[in-house]
Structure 1
Amino acid sequence: MNATHDHDDAAAAPLTDKESPFEFDIRTEEIYFSDQSNGYYCVCLVDIVNSSQITAKMADGNKIRKYYEIFLNAMAALAKNFGAKVIKNIGDALLFYFPDTSDTENMTAFKEVLECCTAIIAAHEFINIRLEAEALPSVSYRISADYGRVEVATTVTSGREDLFGPTVNMCAKINSQAEPNGIVIGGDLHEIMKRFSFKEYSFVGLGKKQPMGVKYSYPVYSVVRKDEVPARDSALNVFKRETPKPKLGEETISIYPPKALQPRDDIISRSYPEQISHPTIMLVDDEPDILSIFKSYLTSEGYKVEAFTDSYRALQSFARTEPGHYDLLVLDIRMPTINGLQLYQRLKAVDPYVKVIFMSALEATDELVSILEGVKTTDVIRKPIDRKHFIQKVKAIIESSHSGTNS
């Protein structure tokens, strides 16, 4: 919720009165503040950059819904994974807070705030892969966080919570000071973080302070994690566990099954199950005749083959599957729109352990694949391709990946 602009009707499309899980009928719902409803917490707001302009160019209402659905549900899953309580989505923004930060001596709770925010930023890459797979525009967003007093209101019948108070307002005001895909925190939160001396993060004061009345201004700091790898791994673990086809009208943002948000170490620590009776291969070639030939080679050897003539459809299928679903990618290099090298880079970003064989008739193939991490010139088969050699190569790579050795 950028403080500098109002969201237009297009930006608010996913949150009609009929569909929003946070809308209620004032005749049947009542909110109350208990004696214990106020406290001091860390509050966060994540907001899309320039969403009004982006959605204004999207004529299809279903695509607008899908755009927000992918973004908001990914944000909610990441926040919950770090112990945050998601309150609501406001237009294209998501508001959440961390209950454990009520204790300012709880170093672990405040470290989780930083880990959560940096994981959300690292997820930018994976969210855009999902959006691209749905033929939707890419997204950038900002995160703002601060610490202070908040009032927690609860609805009588549903038990849902809402937040009020100056800390929530300040998060909204300072959000626009973050760089796209960046993080800012307010001065009160920075004072707490400074006490703990989190050396993995750098905090830089911004020259532009938030005005607070006539005489005072409020300091704002940008936050960067020095080593991005842990944040990226956290984002990947959560993002690959989300429900493939969520429905926006369900209880938001909490559409992820509770057990799916429990910590897991299997996605990063290992690539595939040890025993797979029928390995699955993704085969992509824009020429239907060639695709049919190679599919017949593979199916005759007992492999399950998912074949695509369109790179975008292959990307979409990959983005919706569980980690390790595909044991091997067989990609033609020369294809329109997204060539085989570009496709591999996008798929590799989602599943770092996926194996590949490239097929190509190009003379400079070795030079082309040399720029790709984890790919050797031996992973390229030149056309025309001998059936026996092709099958031998496929078997060798799949067997080596299951045994944990390099192909």
Structure 2
Amino acid sequence: MYELSSLPTRDRSGGKLKRRVAILGSTGSIGRQALDVIRTHPDLFEVVALAAHSNAELLRSQAEEFSPQYVALEKGSPSDLDAMSYRAALGPGSAVRLASLDVDVVLNGIVGFAGLAATVEALESGNTVALANKESLVAAGEWVMELAGGPAGSPESRLIPVDSEHSAIFQCLHGTHEREVSQILLTASGGPFFETPQERLNHAGPEDALKHPTWEMGRKVTIDSATMMNKGLEVMEAHHLFGVPYDRVKVVVHRQSVVHGGVVFEDGSAVLHAAQPDMRLPISYGMLYPERADVGAEPVSFEATWTFAEPRSDVFRCLPLAVEAGKAGGAYPVALNAANEVAVERFLDGALEFPEIADVIEEVLERVPNFGSADNLKSLQAVNEIDRRAREAALESTPLRESRGEARR
């Protein structure tokens, strides 16, 4: 049965028991919005640690405001962290060190494959993880869920989903039995190109792909939304988080981005979760679970029309590629994620055209049998090796735009 876990809750009698949090990726989109929530409710939270990749200036500003005991900067110099009253870690792996601190919740908002090590460290240290890093489950889902203690929502689980869709499903599952669930529903906005004719996609540049119709997200996640790779990754995430087979995870396009997910039951009924597209809602729920807090989000309007449609998988090939990689298991999800990260970066750099993102991923997946043994991906070393080989293969598949342009002439 999916039920409320026994995380520490606030003393309703007037006590000041605060939720002690470590925020990894504090200068990114998730981290900044998490701090907005904490800024609104300083009586509910104590910021113990902040970790950032390279934005030293913003990290210093956050540290001055929230007074954490620890900060970490993955890329920078000692002078970036001088003259502050906190314990500092600097260099690659510094965020992972903070994941092992004695806190109530580690919010992992690190973007991409880099977040896996922090998820593993936090869970191995006995911490509860509010997970916004979907790549942790894409690359090592079975291992991570084993470390977490079971499916999200089960009594022993220490993993709380923060992605808006998975948070929605998580909430819809409370009080239900696994045998009652027929289907998990994942909604997708469809991104900026869902209604764009296929022939125009060849001319879509980064500036077009970054114009998301409803959400404000980081650049990589926004491109993933444009290709619908984000939904493929989320299918894999849902499979591992909730322990459901791939054929029971259904993706529907919901352009209004108000219904974020749901559950269809064996008797034909469904429970849907609706909220305005505001990431502060799932972030606050992830940090405060099983409690809620008013973060200033607008209430749901029931006057607008909600529509649902099938994904255009014939055009947006990343979604079916991801689902097939997930079903294949082993090294395939790791390789897919690595190839996608490389291809997205190359697209943003101007070295790839939009449809070629899927081409690169498909080429890398065809080479997976050459990447070596993937029988046991339950160590960072094993997962990192597959990731490295896939990135090398992806780079080999993305020649410079200049040479491609000359070839077309």
Name the structure where strand makes up a greater proportion of residues: 1
TM-score, length of structure 2 as denominator length = 0.23
The normalised TM-score by structure 1 is 0.23
**Greater C-alpha Rg:** 1
Greater per-residue helix proportion: 2
